Chains A and B, each alone.
Chain A
Amino acid sequence: KAGVTQTPRYLIKTRGQQVTLSCSPISGHRSVSWYQQTPGQGLQFLFEYFSETQRNKGNFPGRFSGRQFSNSRSEMNVSTLELGDSALYLCASSSRQGRGTEAFFGQGTRLTVV
């Protein structure tokens, strides 16, 4: 069974630009979550989608958005990029919502904003 696939692996963008990151979950998984990881802040939850609906949202500005498609693939978009958006963006998929469900992570997309 293929794991979680994130594309691209690396990305360099300029301040003010926008970026779209993609995540393909494990086959059969319907829940996709996004996290931002930085050295100073650790893993910060961005949002979670389940069956094309956003179920949870973290404390990030509206420049961060996402969506999920009918095949469970998900994208996240960051508009008007700032230097502080440089981070490793991780996607995790789960087979279902609910307590005790394990999350499986992709390798991440390393975004650098210059």
Chain B
Amino acid sequence: TQLLEQSPQFLSIQEGENLTVYCNSSSVFSSLQWYRQEPGEGPVLLVTVVTGGEVKKLKRLTFQFGDARKDSSLHITAAQPGDTGLYLCAGGGNAGKSTFGDGTTLTVKP
């Protein structure tokens, strides 16, 4: 069974600060997705990384896939209250049976 561990589990910061959340596994994944979920809503796909060492940027968000494709990180620059949410990483196998981490709950205070 492929497991994904996310850290930290909870993160509370002030607006304008930078942060990094991590997604780690002992298994190799063919791809990895990052999602953001707001309370009572479904996860929204942010990015997919597929190549070891790949870096993708989405405005203030930077995603990196580890060289060995076993880990990933999400860095947010100058966090805003609108970034508040649950950040989930998911590793593919078959898309229909992605393995999800338990998530990092981020709170950005104004």
Q: Which residues of A contact B (CB under 8 A)?
A: 4, 6, 31-33, 35, 42-43, 45, 48-50, 55-56, 58, 88, 90, 92, 94, 96-108, 110
CB pair A100–B96 under 8 Å, yes or no, is no
Q: Which residues of B contact A (CB under 8 A)?
A: 30-31, 33, 35, 40-45, 48, 50, 88, 90, 92-103
CB pair B96–A90 under 8 Å, yes or no, is no
Given contact pairs A31-B95, A100-B31, A110-B40, a sample of 9 additional A-B residue pairs in the complex whose CB atoms are under 8 Å apart: A31-B96, A42-B102, A42-B103, A88-B40, A92-B42, A96-B95, A97-B94, A103-B90, A108-B42
- A-B interface pairs (CB < 8 A), number: 82
Chain A at the B interface: SS class: strand
A99-B31, A102-B48 given as contacts; is B95 within 8 A of A43 (CB)? no
How far, in angstroms, from A49 to B95 measured CA to CA in the complex? 11
How far, in angstroms, from A90 to B86 measured CA to CA in the complex? 15
How far, in angstroms, from A43 to B37 measured CA to CA in the complex? 12
CB pair B97–A94 under 8 Å, yes or no, is no
B95 CB contacts on chain A under 8 angstroms: 31, 33, 94, 96-103
CB pair A108–B41 under 8 Å, yes or no, is yes
How far, in angstroms, from A86 to B41 measured CA to CA in the complex? 16
A4 CB contacts on chain B under 8 angstroms: 42
A42-B103, A48-B96 given as contacts; is B42 within 8 A of A103 (CB)? no
